Amino acid sequence: MNSYEKSVFDMYKSYRLGVGEKCDICRKETPGLCKPISIWHVGDQYAMSEHRVLFVGKAARGSIQQDADCINGVQDGTGVAEDLYHAVGWPFWSYTRAIAEELYGEADAWEKISMTNMVKCNASETVDTTTESVKWNCAGYLRKEIELLLPKNIVFYTNAWYDEAVASLFDSIENAKYHDVPCGQKQMHLWRFTGMINGHSMRVIRTGHPERMKKEEFTGRIIEFIREGGCSDCPKCD
């Protein structure tokens, strides 16, 4: 665990992730809610990377550790993330890997990115069971993660149901644009903006979950956004 990851776990402890009043409310509302899963990864070269990207998934799925292995009540995602990134074909991992390797090359990609989930707990191994309370209570922890990591670019693999909570993470939002672009036989419903946190500017794109999206087109849109700041072949992005 590097210094960035340690600082995130220290924040969890200070703000009582998994053991505080907000978490008690969520457990009462959602029976079977797993213990919170931590940030997945902050690369050793993340701070000095060109694009400084934070990838944010929607909701963690189920449990990854026995209770005895938790750190102050939080499941340590950093211990399994590298294996998931390299070996698992689920779109969250494999599409992120494709984006990172295009940006940084296969050898350096893993150590130059950061990954987390917006929602830390879930009551299912297969579907998103997030309630309003869980969504809003978890948003505060993600805000603290962003404050610690200070990314230049954030990629949210969330959907429109999370947009209000995503907006709440930032002190202000500028240049917000919604637009749809083709992705195979489907559409990517994109929302992009510049967000401010404590005086720091971050470029943000919300893409929707990559599952069942054509990989090359989905990842290409995100790579283009990170490199160029928009989708050059779509008039709405100009």
Q: Which pLDDT value is given to residue 236?
A: 44
Q: Which pLDDT value is given to residue 235?
A: 45
3-state secondary structure of 127: coil
| 65 has a pLDDT exceeding 90 | no
- Read off the pLDDT of residues 32-46 as tens digits, 9 standing for 90 and up: 888 899 999 999 999
What average pLDDT does the structure give for the chain?
Answer: 91
Q: Which pLDDT value is given to residue 238?
A: 43
Q: Which pLDDT value is given to residue 73?
A: 87
The DSSP call for residue 198 is T
| 230 has a pLDDT exceeding 60 | no
Across residues 1-16, what is the average pLDDT?
Answer: 96
Q: 191-207 b/e with 16+ CB inside 10 Å = b?
A: bbbebebeeeebbbbbb
Across residues 85-108, what is the average pLDDT?
Answer: 94
Most confident of 50-54, 75-79, 210-214: 50-54
- Read off the pLDDT of residues 143-196 as tens digits, 9 standing for 90 and up: 999 999 999 999 999 999 999 999 999 999 999 999 999 998 888 999 999 999
Q: Which pLDDT value is given to residue 202?
A: 97
Q: Which pLDDT value is given to residue 232?
A: 47
Predicted TM-score of the model (pTM): 0.93
3-state secondary structure of 61: coil
Sketch out the chain's domains with CATH numbers: 3-232 (3.40.470.10)
DSSP string computed for 138-190? HHHHHHHHHHHH--SEEEE---GGGHHHHHHTSSEEEEEEEEEEEETTEEEEE
Q: In the chain, what percentage of residues exceed pLDDT 70? A: 93
In this prediction, residue 229 has a pLDDT band, given cuts at 50, 70 and 90, of low
Beta bridge partners of 203: 153, 194
